[in-house]
C-alpha cells in the first residue's frame, strides 16, 4: 500500500509538471508609428501654460520628461493550464510606448498622456496605435482613450474601437471665447480636458473654470 501511494504521488507530480505552460514567447517588436509620435508635439522638456478668461494661469512641467517604455502585447494564447483560474502563456510583441506626466506649479493638477499600441483582433497581428489621457485635480480624476491609426491594411474605424472610456470627437467647441475645431474631449463630473491632434492638450476645466493653452 505505501508503495502504491508513493507511485500515485510520483504520477501526480509528473502530470502536474507536464501540464505547466511554457513561458511567454516573444515573436516580434513594434515601434510607435510616425502618426502616433506626431499626435503629441511634446519632448518632455517644455512648460505648458494655461490661462482662464480672467488671466489666472497654471503652468505645467514634466518632472520625468519623456518616458519611453515597452508593453507586452499578446497576439495569441499558446497554452492554458488545465486547472481553474490557472495561468496561461502567449506569443507576444514587445511594443514601444511614450508617456508624458505634466504637473502644475501648484502641485494640484496632473495631466497624464500615454501613446501605446494595442491589438485590434485576437489571434491576429492587427495592431493600432492609441492615446490614453488622464487628468486630475486633487482627488477627482478622469481618463479617456482614442485610437490614432491602424497598423494593418483593411477595415478600421477608430471611433468603433470599444474603449471603456472613449474620448469624444467634436467638430467645433468654444473655449474662453475662442473657437477650436477637430477636438477630442473628455468631460466627467466637474473635470474636462480637450486636445487637438498635433497640438496636444489645448484646455482643461475644473468646476466650470476653463484654462486654455497660452500659445
* Per-residue pLDDT in tens (0 to 9) along the chain, 215 residues: 455 444 444 444 444 444 678 899 999 999 999 999 999 999 999 999 999 999 999 999 999 999 999 999 999 999 987 665 667 899 999 999 999 999 999 999 999 999 999 999 989 999 999 999 999 998 889 999 999 999 999 889 988 899 999 999 999 999 999 999 999 999 999 999 999 999 999 999 999 999 999 99
Long-range pairs of 160-163 with CB within 8 A, sequence gap ≥ 24: 161/120, 161/128, 161/130
Q: For position 3, what pLDDT does the model report?
A: 54
Q: For position 10, what pLDDT does the model report?
A: 47
Alpha-carbon distance 195 to 208, whole Å?
Answer: 17
Alpha-carbon distance 140 to 168, whole Å?
Answer: 19
Alpha-carbon distance 71 to 164, whole Å?
Answer: 20
Q: For position 139, what pLDDT does the model report?
A: 83
**CA max distance for the chain:** 88
Segments in the chain forming alpha helices (H): 2-19, 34-37
Q: How many CA atoms lie within 13 A of 109 on its CB side?
A: 21
Q: For position 159, what pLDDT does the model report?
A: 86
The answer to whether 186 and 132 have CB atoms below 8 angstroms apart is: no
Amino acid at each position: 500500500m505505501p508503495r502504491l501511494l508513493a507511485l500515485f504521488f510520483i504520477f501526480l507530480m509528473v502530470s502536474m509538471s507536464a501540464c505547466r505552460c511554457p513561458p511567454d514567447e516573444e515573436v516580434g517588436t513594434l515601434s510607435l508609428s510616425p502618426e502616433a509620435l506626431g499626435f503629441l508635439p511634446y519632448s518632455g522638456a517644455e512648460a505648458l501654460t494655461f490661462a482662464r478668461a480672467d488671466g489666472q494661469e497654471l503652468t505645467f512641467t514634466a518632472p520625468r520628461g519623456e518616458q519611453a517604455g515597452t508593453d507586452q502585447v499578446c497576439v495569441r494564447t499558446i497554452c492554458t493550464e488545465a486547472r481553474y483560474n490557472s495561468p496561461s502563456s502567449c506569443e507576444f510583441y514587445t511594443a514601444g510606448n511614450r508617456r508624458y506626466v505634466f504637473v502644475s506649479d501648484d502641485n494640484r493638477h496632473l495631466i497624464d498622456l500615454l501613446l501605446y499600441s494595442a491589438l485590434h483582433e485576437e489571434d491576429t497581428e492587427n495592431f493600432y496605435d492609441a492615446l490614453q489621457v488622464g487628468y486630475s485635480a486633487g482627488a477627482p480624476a478622469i481618463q479617456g482613450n482614442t485610437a490614432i491609426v491602424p497598423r494593418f491594411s483593411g477595415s478600421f474605424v477608430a471611433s468603433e474601437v470599444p474603449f471603456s472610456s472613449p474620448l469624444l470627437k467634436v467638430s467645433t467647441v468654444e473655449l474662453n471665447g475662442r473657437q477650436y475645431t477637430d477636438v477630442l474631449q473628455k468631460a466627467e463630473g466637474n473635470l474636462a480636458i480637450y486636445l487637438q491632434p498635433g497640438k496636444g492638450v489645448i484646455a482643461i476645466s475644473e468646476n466650470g473654470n476653463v484654462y486654455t493653452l497660452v500659445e
